[in-house]
Amino acid sequence: MNDALKSYIERYTELELGMRELINRKGNSLCAQCSCVCCDVVMCVEGVKSPFLKLVHQQTDEFDEKKGFLSATGCVLEKGRPSVCYEYFCDDHFYHQPDEPHAEVLKIIGALLYHATRDVEGDVSLDEITTREELERLDLRPFESPLRESLRALEIIRVFYRDGSLSADDQTALKRIRIAKEFQSES
C-alpha cells in the first residue's frame, strides 16, 4: 500500500472509531438495545465491494451471503463499515434528543465518513473506486481537506457533548460537513 493511502486510512480509522464512541454514548445508543435492527445485507455488501473499506476492516472473510456482517451480537465490523450504516438514524433517535441543536449534531456525526470520503469538489467518492489498483493510483490530495474537516468536527462535537459549548466558528465548521441528500431532512 502506498504511503498516502496508508496515512489516509490511519486517520479515517481514527475518525470512524471516534464517531462510534459518540454514537454509542448515553442518549444516542438506542441501536444497542434495538429488537428490530435495520441492518440489511444489501448495505453490508458495500463493505466487500469497496476495495477501500476492505483495506480498513480487513474482515472480508467474515462476510456471510445471507447475514452480511450481522452476528447475534451485532455487526462484526469494528471499523470499515459502509458510511450508510452511520448516516441513517430512525425517528426514535431524534425523538430522544434534548433539543434541535443536539438533533442537528447527531445528523452531522452520521455524515462525517460520507464527507471525508468525497473529494473537495464532491465529484469523486472513494466508494466508487472499484479496484485496488485504481485506489493505489488515486491522487488523495483532494480528499485531505474533507478528512481534516471531519476530524475537526469530531473534536467540536466531543466538546459540545462535554460542556454544551458551540461557538460561531464551531457552527461554521460543522456546516462544512456535507450530508447526503437522502438524509438531510430527517429530524
Interface with ligand SF4 by CB under 6 A: which residues? 30-31, 34, 36-40, 43-44, 47, 68-70, 75, 77, 81-82, 85, 89-90, 92
CB of 56 to ligand SF4, least distance (A): 12
Select 90 or 120, whichever has its Cβ closest to ligand SF4. 90
CB of 185 to ligand SF4, least distance (A): 16
Select 2 or 71, whichever has its Cβ closest to ligand SF4. 71
CB of 48 to ligand SF4, least distance (A): 10
Select 79 or 176, whichever has its Cβ closest to ligand SF4. 79
Report angle CA 179, 183, 187 to the nearest 5 degrees.
Answer: 110
**DSSP single-letter state for residue 181:** G
Report the candidate in 57, 62, 87 with the shortest Cα–Cα distance to residue 73. 62
Q: How far is CA 91 from CA 32, 113, 184, in A?
A: 15, 21, 13
Please, are residues 12 and 146 in contact by the beta-carbon 8 Å criterion? no
CB of 186 to ligand SF4, least distance (A): 11
Please, are residues 129 and 135 in contact by the beta-carbon 8 Å criterion? yes
Q: Cell 452520521 belongs to which residue?
A: 110
Longest dimension (CA), the chain: 47
Select 70 or 147, whichever has its Cβ closest to ligand SF4. 70
CB of 176 to ligand SF4, least distance (A): 25
Select 74 or 122, whichever has its Cβ closest to ligand SF4. 74
